[in-house]
């Protein structure tokens, strides 16, 4: 049977096209939606229990999760299926990508990704891409998980809000592209139909309203265009308490003077040119669809509060730095004036240079005009619509520009993006010192700068300020090396929420600080290809959530593996190859039930391999270029046939070293 999930609009769960009505539990449905949308990763049971049953005892949450999974499997007839939709073990739950399923959100993302990666001069003129975008827009029936929420699960609702804003921005971008495409083909009526959808998505956008007015006039519908202006005025007044900008008023005056001399279907020559096609509503809407006043007023208030927060921050810095211009320009501006303009500004307030100063600085410092994609940047649109930016409640929460040809340095102004949660600039050409100003982003949960070969300097101690950080990824994973150097600061120990610490192929030297032992949530300790020295601190072996320790290629790491390694019951991968570790292997290695990869090669280990390794179900075992010998025990020799990636020493143990 094929599972179908409709999440863009009213949620539906179907099997072979028939609605599943037996899955009535809201949390079970939410759990299925979450795991399906995030199908590219596995999810730890304890993390899911915390998300859906917060502030409950750990045992209660895990038991409730177990019951919810059972409910889902029963509703989907998934218990005895040869291709189950959900897979789970004692530690993890994940969606089976090999099962027969269809999720509208994933299809929507796939279509837009194909367009983004397609080699064309412009998506506005590419016919194959236009067809894909039309299909994507058709899939988008309404907001993601529209009307669906879990009041007692803040983490789930925050995830849904971020996704909702992201998909709304993506579909708006797709619609604008299609409007430009059809207008270029002189299919004005089709452009008007698409513009109608765009107005419904963002009725507060004067830019979109102007394009709708222009398109209506181009269709010969002067009366409808004028009515749309009055609808725009009413929306701005009732929802934002502001008046139209001069650009909108000027367009209105031009349409009033037009006498249809050029006929329907022709664009009047005296209508303002140069704006993208935007909205169309043949019968102008006097009220925006699905835009409650409370949201808009909360947005305006939030914008002013965050602006005030930035001004205070700059005062602490002696009124110097990136936001001084904002303070000077704000002056005695009233709350109404502060939110008036082309679009309501995101959390930092409106800027003279068409965007928050931190984003302008990033654009200018990294050659924004040469980026692979810079859609919307530094234009009069809301920064929430710019490529690579995701907002939640009109606060910038994600800046994601991976592999986008950013060539330059990370400006100090980046530290002023106080609401940022994700900063993903991986696989670019960034250079210069590692910016200590990143330490100001105290709400950051993910920092990924991997692949920037020329980024250099030490990790600043200010990185310890990122107390909400969950993912820290630096360096180069494949060929080459990065120039980040210095030692690992002890302040890393303040990052108690960190799940992944990954620094690949850099010039980090010195010892691994024992303060890492304070990272009780750490699951991945990945520090390969550096110049680390000394032994593995004993504190590391108290991090019972660890799933991977990867330290290969440091050359100067030494010491032995202590018996305490057996405490890491969740460990899946241990790779300490190409170092100077020595001594014999502890028997406790055989007590790691989840261990699948073990790399010990190119070290000074000696003695017999522990017999109780046969309890492990290893997939990869590398022992070459060590002095470890293989017990002649028949059961042990038979066990050697299990790992499919096996590299032996070929040394059989003698009586002296057994």
Q: Give the mean pLDDT per block of 10 residues along the chain (658 residues).
A: 92 93 92 92 89 83 91 88 86 87 92 79 80 94 91 89 90 92 90 88 86 88 88 86 88 76 39 36 30 38 45 42 35 35 38 70 92 91 91 90 90 89 91 84 91 84 90 78 86 93 90 94 93 94 94 91 95 94 95 93 94 91 93 89 84 74
The dihedrals phi and psi of 573, each to the nearest 5 degrees, come to -135, 130
Q: What are phi and psi of 635, to 5 degrees?
A: -65, -35
What was the pLDDT predicted at 264?
Answer: 39
DSSP β-bridge partners for residue 431: 454
Q: Please give the full DSSP string across 292-334, using - where no structure is assigned.
A: -HHHHHHHHHHHHHHHHHHHHHHHHTTT-STTHHHHHHHTT--
Instruction: List Cα–Cα distances, 213 to 182, 195, 342, 370, in angstroms.
Output: 16, 10, 15, 33
User: Residues for the chain: how many in total?
Assistant: 658
Residue closest to 635 by CA, chosen among 653, 657, 615, 656? 615
State how far Cα 234 lies from the chain centre.
Answer: 37
Q: Is the pTM of this model over 0.85?
A: no
Q: How many CA atoms lie within 13 A of 320 on its CB side?
A: 3
CA-based nearest residue to 583, from 536, 548, 543: 536
Sign of the CA dihedral running 198, 202, 203, 204:
negative
User: Which pLDDT does position 207 carry in this prediction?
Assistant: 84
With vertex at residue 519, the alpha carbon angle to CA 514 and CA 522, rounded to the nearest 5 degrees, is 115
Tokens 């995030």, residue located = 38
The C-alpha atoms of residue 198 and residue 266 are separated, in whole angstroms, by 22
Single out the residue of 258, 168, 181, 175 nearest to residue 213, CA to CA.
258
Helices 45-52 and 58-75 pack at an angle, to 10 degrees, of: 90
Contact 499, 528 (CB under 8 A): no
Give the chain's domains with CATH numbers. Answer: 3-104 (1.10.10.10), 106-143+152-293 (1.25.40), 357-600 (3.80.10.10)
Helix (H) or strand (E) holding 181, with range, is: helix 154-184
Confirm if 508 and 531 have CB atoms less than 8 A apart.
Answer: yes
What are the start-end ranges of the H helices in 331-407? Answer: 335-338, 357-365
DSSP character at residue 543:
-
Structure tokens at 108: 């929507």
At residue 368, the pLDDT reads 93
């Amino acid at each position: 049977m094929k599972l179908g999930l409709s999440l863009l609009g009213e949620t539906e769960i179907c099997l072979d096209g028939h609605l599943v009505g037996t899955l009535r539990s809201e949390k079970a449905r939410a759990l299925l939606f979450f795991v399906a949308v995030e199908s590219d990763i596995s999810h730890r049971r304890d993390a899911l229990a915390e998300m859906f049953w917060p502030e409950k005892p750990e045992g209660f949450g895990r038991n409730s999760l177990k019951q919810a999974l059972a409910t889902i499997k029963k509703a989907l007839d998934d218990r005895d299926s040869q291709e189950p939709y959900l897979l789970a073990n004692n530690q993890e739950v994940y969606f089976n990508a090999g099962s027969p399923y269809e999720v509208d959100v994933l299809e929507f993302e796939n279509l837009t990704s194909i367009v983004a990666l397609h080699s064309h001069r412009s998506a506005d003129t590419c016919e194959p891409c236009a067809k894909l975008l039309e299909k994507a827009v058709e899939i988008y029936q309404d907001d993601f998980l529209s009307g669906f929420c879990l009041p007692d699960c803040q983490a789930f609702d925050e995830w849904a809000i971020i996704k909702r804003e992201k998909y709304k921005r993506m579909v708006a971008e797709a619609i604008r592209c299609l409007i430009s495409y059809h207008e270029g083909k002189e299919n004005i009526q089709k452009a008007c139909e698409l513009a109608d959808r765009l107005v419904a998505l963002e009725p507060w956008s004067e830019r979109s309203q102007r394009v709708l007015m222009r398109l209506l006039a181009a269709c010969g519908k002067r009366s409808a265009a004028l009515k749309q202006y009055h609808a725009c005025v009413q929306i701005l007044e009732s929802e934002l308490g502001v008046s139209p900008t001069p650009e909108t008023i000027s367009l209105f005056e031009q349409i009033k003077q037009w006498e249809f001399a050029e006929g329907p279907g022709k664009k009047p020559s005296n209508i303002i040119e140069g704006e993208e096609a935007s909205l169309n509503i043949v019968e102008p809407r006097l009220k925006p669809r699905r835009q409650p006043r409370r949201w808009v007023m909360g947005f305006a208030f939030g914008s002013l509060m965050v602006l005030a927060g930035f001004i205070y921050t700059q005062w602490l810095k002696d009124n110097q730095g990136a936001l001084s211009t904002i303070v000077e320009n704000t002056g005695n501006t009233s709350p109404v004036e502060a939110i008036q303009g082309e679009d309501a500004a995101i959390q930092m307030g409106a800027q003279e240079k068409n965007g928050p100063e931190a984003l302008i600085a990033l654009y200018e410092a990294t050659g924004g005009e040469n980026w692979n994609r810079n859609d919307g940047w530094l234009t009069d649109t809301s920064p929430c619509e710019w490529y690579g930016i995701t907002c939640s409640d009109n606060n910038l929460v994600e800046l994601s520009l991976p592999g986008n040809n950013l060539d330059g340095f990370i400006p100090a102004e980046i530290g002023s993006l106080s609401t940022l949660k994700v900063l993903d600039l991986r696989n670019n050409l960034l250079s210069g010192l590692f910016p200590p100003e990143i330490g100001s982003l105290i709400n950051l949960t993910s920092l990924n700068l991997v692949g920037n070969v020329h980024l250099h300097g030490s990790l600043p101690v200010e990185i310890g300020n990122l107390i909400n950080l969950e993912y820290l990824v630096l360096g180069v994973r494949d060929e080459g090396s990065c120039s980040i150097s210095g030692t690992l600061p002890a302040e890393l120990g303040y990052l108690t929420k960190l799940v992944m610490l990954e620094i690949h192929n850099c010039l980090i030297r010195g010892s691994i600080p024992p303060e890492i032992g304070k990272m009780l949530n750490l699951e991945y300790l990945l520090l390969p290809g550096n110049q680390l020295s000394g032994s593995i601190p004993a504190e590391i072996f108290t991090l019972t959530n660890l799933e991977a320790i990867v330290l290969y290629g440091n050359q100067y790491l030494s010491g032995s593996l202590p018996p305490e390694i057996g405490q890491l019951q969740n460990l899946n991968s241990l790779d300490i190859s190409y170092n100077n570790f020595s001594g014999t292997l502890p028997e406790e290695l055989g007590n790691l039930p989840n261990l699948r990869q073990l790399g010990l090669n190119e070290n000074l280990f000696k003695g017999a391999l522990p017999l109780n390794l046969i309890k492990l179900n290893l997939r990869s075992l590398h022992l070459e270029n060590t002095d470890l010998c293989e017990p002649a025990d028949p059961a042990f020799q038979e066990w050697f046939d299990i790992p499919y990636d096996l590299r032996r020493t070929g040394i059989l143990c003698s009586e002296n070293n057994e």
